Structure 1
Amino acid sequence: MKKNIVYALIFLWGLSINAQTKIYVSPKGNDNGSGEIKSPLRTIQSAIEKSRKMQGAVVIELLEGNYHVNKTIEVNREDLTIKSYNRQKVSVSGDMVIPVNKAIKIKDKQILSRIDKALVDKIYEIDFGKMGISIERIHAVGFGRASKEGWSELVVNGEPLKMSRWPNDSMEPIGKVLVSGNEKDKETGNLPVFKFDTDRPKRWEKADEVWLSGYFGYGYADDMIPVKKINYQDSTFHMADFTNYQFNSGKPFLQWFAVNLLEEIDTPGEYAIDAKAQKIYFMPKGEIKELRLLTLKAPLFAIENCKNVLVKGLTIENSRGIGVYIENAHNAVVDSCTIRNLGSAGVSMGKGNIPNDNKKLHNMANAGAQISREIGGMAGALYANPVLNRQAGTNNGVSNSYIYDTGAGGVILSGGDRLTLERGNSFVENCQIHDFNRIEKSYRPAVWIDGVGNRVTRCDIFNAPSMAIIFHGNEQVIEYCKITNVCTEIDDQGAIYYGRDPSERGNIIRYNYFKEISPRHSVMATYHDDLACDGKVYGNIYYKAGSKPVMIGGGKDNHYYNNIFINSPYAIHLDNRGNNWGKFMTVKGAIVDQRLNLVNYTQPPYSTAYPELVNYWKEGAEMSLRNVFNGNLFVNIKNVIHGESSMGEFYNNWDTPNDPGFVDINDPLKGFKEDAEVFKKIKDFPKLPFDKIGCTLKKK
């Protein structure tokens, strides 16, 4: 009898231990509770703290509801899962709920005089000053500037508002430039001045602030800066700040548009911030059912100095900063989450940088020290020091998730060490990433990759003014992705882009579908810029994929095979820029020399991993060599080659104006017929894995 009692006690003790591997949390709970399902805790952070006292793996189960946080949830315990309980709807947000009755019709006659009479009854105001809530004004954003958290934005009925602008869906050309704001002007403080050719600015005479956004100097560099004054007599804008380069005019992509004006709220879903009055004006889309103000500047989650962490099944939303930050972690995965309505990036792996001088723009020597939980001048820091280890960790990833309506990119993917070629093995897999540039545009892609040995697989990326993927480093893989309607505004950029470092080798771009990328400016699908080398590009479909789907700018050892090009003005651009206008990069002591020396390119591991690199200088750094194109299909391409055909080696390709045997030529992903002509015309042309391309998630 006693033995049976002992066994029963051991069994019950085992059940108790097992029960305690789970901690339950509810917005209606109490942090003094036991953490059992009948007595859940209230906050996620308290559950994490409780888990530290427990042995083995712990699962934190979040019951349905909204978890509003005012500081970062710090995850630094190993073997931890934070998930939705039974797939219930769980939202973790850095916002503040604003009572709907605080949105009122405008009564101030001076304010009403600035609005089109037909729209007076459609525009609301919220006076945050009266509520004792401080709201942040907009700030300059653009190419070369440090990435910051977003300003105070309003989410109405679950959707973030968009800043008012004129014109609504186009831009105005920059007129004659009177003061360019060049380097000499910057030294003397002589601010830019340029002419405009429209009467629209007369509507803005009563506005306290006018901001202009657009492409002021180059088509790849957007900027947004304030106007000091408008001279209506000579139709000139006098700017209050400098842009990164200088103002230019005369090219179709050099354009501007005005933003954040009460006078230009004319479309449902638009808003303008009046920071001086501490008010936000907006035009809702229909009835206002819910209002949330984005408040938290720091990341919602920070996973740091730990391993084996899973965040699953949550909606991470409504915050001014990063959604999930990961540093020095191993096997930290964000899975089956919706990440949206953020002022910064959705997920960021690795440290950022604080610029030494915030007034200096596009100065890569200004990168400053590394910093946790921020992005800042990270892009400039990597440009200045391409072997910088951002201390992200290894085997971290984002999978099966939706990322959209973010302010400054989707995922910053980092891992591995460029000096040792140690792999990071981190990933973004089976995700939908779209509309990810609400605030910052240039060089804020859906996925940014740096380090060694990371991958992006089966992602759908769409709707962006600029690039889909930027990568740096070695042995990165981009595969099975569907990339559509990106690079919609810019010039001289690519959907996938890298360059200006011949030591970045072993990268693979395979089995991707590039569709409907605008040929309006000089836009590419895959862009090997400024002497980029050793890209293996195969099995991709380029369907109406820009003005020049492929750009190889003077590099070596790039290999294109078994790709399909359909309906473009050109297919491939080749040039020898290292021997002409780009020779400044290849002289001794210049950027190419610096970057090769950083990785000790004549010594292992680089000399053994990339033997062609050892003779880089002997065979001519300026020479474009061994760029091979074989087994490619060109369908209805006006001119296969743009530039210098002698810079490439071409064989076993087929160029045809006719259908080569598609099941449906308007939908290439349906593949080829069994007896397609392509299999006869191109020797050993493979059956490509069309069915594996793209994300398996349903569109939201």
Structure 2
Amino acid sequence: MNIKLLVCAILFTGFVFQAKAADFYISPSGNDKNPGTFKLPFATIERAKKEIVRIGGEEAITFYLRGGTYYLPQTLVFTAQHSGTLGKPVTFSAYKNEVPVISGGARLRLQWTAYKQGIFKAKVPAGLQSDQLFVNGKRQHMARYPDFDLKAQYYNGFAADAFSKERAAGWNDPVGGYIHAMHKAMWGDYHYLITGKDSSGNVVYTGGWQNNRQMGMDPERRYVENIFEELDAPCEWYLDRQKNELYFYPEKGLELKTALIETVRLKHLVELNGNEQHPVKFLQFKGITFLHSARSFMENKEPLLRSDWTIYRGGMFLINGAEDCGITNCILDQAGGNAIFVNNYNRRIKITGCHIDKAGSSGVAFVGDPKAVRNPLFEYNQVQELSAMDKEAGPKTANYPANCLVEDCLIHESGRVEKQTAGVQIEMAQQITVRHCSIYDVPRAGINIGSGAWGGHLIEWNDVFNTVMETGDHGSFNSWGRDRFWRPNRKEVDSWVKERPELPFLEAVKTVIIRNNRWRCDHGWDIDLDDGSTNYLIQNNICLNGGLKNREGYNRVVENNIMVNNSFHPHVWYQNSNDIFKRNIVFTPYKPIGMPKVWGKQIDSNFHHQPGQKTVAAHELQQQTGQDQHSLSGNALFVDPEIGDYRVRENSPALKTGFKNFPMTGFGVVSPALKKLARTPVFPRSIPLSKTPGRSSAISGWLGSSVRNILGQGEMSAYGLAGEAGVLVLDVPHGSPIVKSGILKDDVIVSVNSKTVKDIDELAKIPAPRNGVYKVEVIRNQKSIFFEVKP
């Protein structure tokens, strides 16, 4: 090519890709009649939106927000007309080191007068509606019973008599109050709006739709709020909407006259509202603080397929129908519901460097449209007949999030109001990456993948701990796979998959990779692959406490992980599951429940860490699996477990199994600002846990059958029980009263003649009924069934 032509081509190419740029400024002290310059800034983002439309994508646009608080009169809604383009994005950014705050609330300037007993009151604007109150930036508590207790495990305070008739007798008019109660099996919680009292003085309420597996309220873990008569402790408040009066009990030392008082009005602060045909594109938010969104627990109604979840499709930041948009280095604080909700069709959404703190619900949620799922089912016990099943793999439409990223984010203390939540939730989505996040102090999972997910997700380099703090039967990482092939009856699934081996992969079309993470769960499993979870590669994870559980599913490869003070928990696998467990280090023997004779495809080349023992074949593991022919037992020789370094030394016998060291640093957030804020987990002592006294494992007899107590959270989970209670039926001999009644082996007896049966001692004490018939309630396939047993 002629050199002059080449130079011209280069110059022309540079000219074409040199984007024009337009800068504007916004300030709380500005004016929307201004031109938006540094000296004459706009006052609102609504005004800025007009400039985006005017410029029409011809230039890259940056709106610099000056420091101060922007109280939104209404939700900021961006549509396709507010899009940028490749190389010419639209960006809203904090100006230099200033702190712009976008608030969904309002500031109140009040005249306080003393009311009584340390309580003050003030007139508020007529029609004020707020479900939260902030004083000097700190969230206060609606008047509640019992009082807020930071140390209480559940709800920061709970009581069995929270809304008892006796307690309610002291309430003049509880209409508008709320009941919050844990799910009976501790799978999330319920919420109710009090509508009054009946003629007998009992509290009347509506709600309870916030969990997709209805079992009723826990009888003890519950509290009430927004009850005027319960205003009796510092930091409590009550808004009388009839009299337009705000009552507040300030904490000691607070100068109420000069305090910043803020309420909440908006559920959503920002919405990106597009769709697949007309998406919002190349819109970025950088360095901005988002505060104060209203709670959404009473609108949390939509069931998420056959998971335990229901959801509210919204949040402080709602992204709906967008491409190549991002939230970078932002703070999302005190969201009343979800902090960020990525809804339905979205592609290449990036959430990076963000700090998400004290959200009422989940931190970040990616949830698609159930209409994108083939044969969607919406309740645990619903099933799809094989003959009527759509046999095509993958999603039906494109209306779901895909190719999105959550990276270098600090997410903690989420689930402040709602407990069936996660730091990051993924459902009906594909190829979501969660990388270098620190997630902790949450009531349920740190990261959860629900049913109807089409796989391809990458979970790596995260630091997740202090999880399952207020619920049960869960893990720091949790998943379900109750896809179209799945049924509560495993034998039915076995027969289906034998006929059609492709069934488990119609949804799980791409492998989910979980690698190089650090997990710690003190109230469940570190990694919990629950019902039907299929097509996973779990590699190079350090599990610090709860071990790793694989319930029934297909094609799970678990390799080169370390399970400190715990082990592998295989639960009720399918025949021919094709699972692999190899080159892992465990601290105790495996903990199987209800396993078939042959465990998957390969269980081998693992190392059983036993300090003080010479290296020998892992006989105990071999006896459990009938495999593990190349597995060893002995001292793994860790480098420095006291500081969390579980690499093994060069002379470690674990290396003979094929185990390979992987990095013990680099977990969690990486940006310096977030690293300064982020906590890290407590490292356990690197010794096997000692056996502690617990429920008796003795086998007893009852009406011709052999029974024993349910033992441990593993069996509690495997049989779908509300707690470590009940009696397991071990056999049903031919001709016994039990077998004649229809009760089967592995049923769990939980009540007899309406009396709860916690253990074999209680079962033995139940007297023979006068009519000679025992009415027995058992749990089978996680569902209650009643039988009549005639001795």
- TM-score, normalised with respect to structure 1: 0.69
- Equivalent position amino acid for 2:657 in 1: I
CA gap of 1:494–1:330, structure 2 versus 1, over 3 A, is: same
Work out the CA distance in 2 between the residues paired with 1:676 and 1:198: 64
Work out the CA distance in 2 between the residues paired with 1:254 and 1:647: 40
- Alpha-carbon distance, 1:529 to partner: 2.2
CA gap of 1:253–1:693, structure 2 versus 1, over 3 A, is: farther
Work out the CA distance in 2 between the residues paired with 1:29 and 1:21: 18
Could you say which residue in structure 2 is the equivalent of 1:439?
A: 417
- Alpha-carbon distance, 1:133 to partner: 3.7
* Partner deviation per Cα, 1:89-127 (whole Å, 9 max, x = no partner): 11111111012x4444324xxxxxxxxxxxx22x44444
Could you say which residue in structure 2 is the equivalent of 1:46?
A: 47
Could you say which residue in structure 2 is the equivalent of 1:633?
A: 585
- Assess if the C-alpha contact under 8 Å between 1:333 and 1:398 holds in 2: yes
* Partner deviation per Cα, 1:368-416 (whole Å, 9 max, x = no partner): xxxxxxxxxxxxxxxxxxxxxx212x11111001011222211123589
Work out the CA distance in 2 between the residues paired with 1:297 and 1:173: 27
Work out the number of aligned pairs and report it. 535
- Assess if the C-alpha contact under 8 Å between 1:574 and 1:647 holds in 2: no
SS in 1 for 2:70: strand
Work out the CA distance in 2 between the residues paired with 1:551 and 1:630: 14
Could you say which residue in structure 2 is the equivalent of 1:367?
A: none
- Assess if the C-alpha contact under 8 Å between 1:271 and 1:283 holds in 2: yes
Work out the CA distance in 2 between the residues paired with 1:104 and 1:513: 52
- Alpha-carbon distance, 1:202 to partner: 7.0
1:419 lines up with 2:395 in the alignment: yes
Work out the CA distance in 2 between the residues paired with 1:160 and 1:654: 49
* Partner deviation per Cα, 1:311-340 (whole Å, 9 max, x = no partner): 101001112272222222221010000011
Could you say which residue in structure 1 is the equivalent of 2:28?
A: 27
* Partner deviation per Cα, 1:197-236 (whole Å, 9 max, x = no partner): 9998378444625643222433203102256778999xx9
Could you say which residue in structure 1 is the equivalent of 2:345?
A: 391
- Assess if the C-alpha contact under 8 Å between 1:421 and 1:452 holds in 2: no
Aligned counterpart in structure 2 of residue 243 of structure 1, from 200, 208, 213: 208
CA gap of 1:238–1:270, structure 2 versus 1, over 3 A, is: closer
- Alpha-carbon distance, 1:67 to partner: 1.4
Work out the CA distance in 1 between the residues paired with 2:159 and 2:292: 35
Aligned counterpart in structure 1 of residue 107 of structure 2, from 97, 101, 113: 97
Could you say which residue in structure 1 is the equivalent of 2:191?
A: 224
* Partner deviation per Cα, 1:527-557 (whole Å, 9 max, x = no partner): 2222221111111111123xxx333222111
Could you say which residue in structure 1 is the equivalent of 2:91?
A: 81
Work out the CA distance in 1 between the residues paired with 2:230 and 2:315: 29
Aligned counterpart in structure 2 of residue 347 of structure 1, from 340, 347, 354: 340
Aligned counterpart in structure 1 of residue 518 of structure 2, from 493, 513, 516: 513
CA gap of 1:479–1:66, structure 2 versus 1, over 3 A, is: same
CA gap of 1:562–1:553, structure 2 versus 1, over 3 A, is: same
- Equivalent position amino acid for 2:514 in 1: I
SS in 1 for 2:445: coil
Could you say which residue in structure 2 is the equivalent of 1:338?
A: 331
Work out the CA distance in 2 between the residues paired with 1:71 and 1:479: 38
Aligned counterpart in structure 1 of residue 472 of structure 2, from 491, 496, 504: 491
Work out the CA distance in 2 between the residues paired with 1:315 and 1:322: 15
Work out the CA distance in 1 between the residues paired with 2:532 and 2:219: 25
- Equivalent position amino acid for 1:314 in 2: I
- Alpha-carbon distance, 1:477 to partner: 1.2
Aligned counterpart in structure 2 of residue 554 of structure 1, from 552, 565, 572: 552
- Alpha-carbon distance, 1:661 to partner: 3.3
**Over alpha carbons, which structure has the higher Rg?**
2
Could you say which residue in structure 2 is the equivalent of 1:574?
A: 571
SS in 1 for 2:351: strand
Could you say which residue in structure 2 is the equivalent of 1:664?
A: 640
- Assess if the C-alpha contact under 8 Å between 2:174 and 2:227 holds in 1: no
Q: Which runs of 5+ in 1 are unaligned?
A: 1-13, 108-119, 137-151, 176-194, 351-389, 577-621
CA gap of 1:104–1:399, structure 2 versus 1, over 3 A, is: farther
1:106 lines up with 2:115 in the alignment: yes
- Alpha-carbon distance, 1:80 to partner: 0.5
Q: Which runs of 5+ in 2 are unaligned?
A: 1-14, 295-313, 373-393, 484-503, 612-634, 679-791
CA gap of 1:434–1:459, structure 2 versus 1, over 3 A, is: same
- Alpha-carbon distance, 1:83 to partner: 0.2
Work out the CA distance in 1 between the residues paired with 2:199 and 2:522: 36
CA gap of 1:238–1:323, structure 2 versus 1, over 3 A, is: closer
SS in 1 for 2:677: coil
CA gap of 1:87–1:643, structure 2 versus 1, over 3 A, is: farther
CA gap of 1:677–1:441, structure 2 versus 1, over 3 A, is: same
- Alpha-carbon distance, 1:642 to partner: 4.5
Work out the CA distance in 2 between the residues paired with 1:165 and 1:473: 44
SS in 1 for 2:544: strand
* Partner deviation per Cα, 1:429-467 (whole Å, 9 max, x = no partner): 000111221222214544435411111111111111122
Higher relative contact order (CA 8 A, sep 6+): 1
- Equivalent position amino acid for 1:93 in 2: S
Could you say which residue in structure 2 is the equivalent of 1:59?
A: 62
CA gap of 1:174–1:434, structure 2 versus 1, over 3 A, is: closer
- Alpha-carbon distance, 1:18 to partner: 9.4
Work out the CA distance in 2 between the residues paired with 1:94 and 1:197: 32
- Assess if the C-alpha contact under 8 Å between 1:421 and 1:474 holds in 2: no
SS in 1 for 2:33: coil
1:135 lines up with 2:129 in the alignment: yes
SS in 1 for 2:545: strand
- Assess if the C-alpha contact under 8 Å between 2:272 and 2:321 holds in 1: no
- Assess if the C-alpha contact under 8 Å between 1:413 and 1:427 holds in 2: no
SS in 1 for 2:285: strand
SS in 1 for 2:403: coil
Equivalences for 1:143-222 in 2 at 5 Å? 152-163=131-142, 164-166=144-146, 168=149, 169=152, 201=167, 204-206=170-172, 208-209=174-175, 211-222=178-189
* Partner deviation per Cα, 1:588-641 (whole Å, 9 max, x = no partner): xxxxxxxxxxxxxxxxxxxxxxxxxxxxxxxxxx63511211111113x36544
Could you say which residue in structure 1 is the equivalent of 2:289?
A: 315
Could you say which residue in structure 2 is the equivalent of 1:257?
A: 223
* Partner deviation per Cα, 1:653-682 (whole Å, 9 max, x = no partner): 1112437333432432x3426436264353
Work out the CA distance in 1 between the residues paired with 2:651 and 2:61: 55
- Equivalent position amino acid for 1:348 in 2: F
1:410 lines up with 2:415 in the alignment: no
- Equivalent position amino acid for 1:155 in 2: F
CA gap of 1:310–1:231, structure 2 versus 1, over 3 A, is: closer
Work out the CA distance in 2 between the residues paired with 1:404 and 1:325: 17
1:565 lines up with 2:569 in the alignment: no
CA gap of 1:88–1:652, structure 2 versus 1, over 3 A, is: same
- Alpha-carbon distance, 1:347 to partner: 1.5
1:461 lines up with 2:439 in the alignment: yes
- TM-score, normalised with respect to structure 2: 0.61
Q: Could you tell me the percent identity over the aligned residues?
A: 20
Work out the CA distance in 1 between the residues paired with 2:462 and 2:441: 14
SS in 2 for 1:339: strand
Q: Name which of structure 1's ranges 157-166 and 74-83 shifts more when overlaid on structure 2.
A: 157-166
- Assess if the C-alpha contact under 8 Å between 1:219 and 1:254 holds in 2: no
1:475 lines up with 2:456 in the alignment: yes
SS in 2 for 1:53: helix
SS in 2 for 1:27: coil
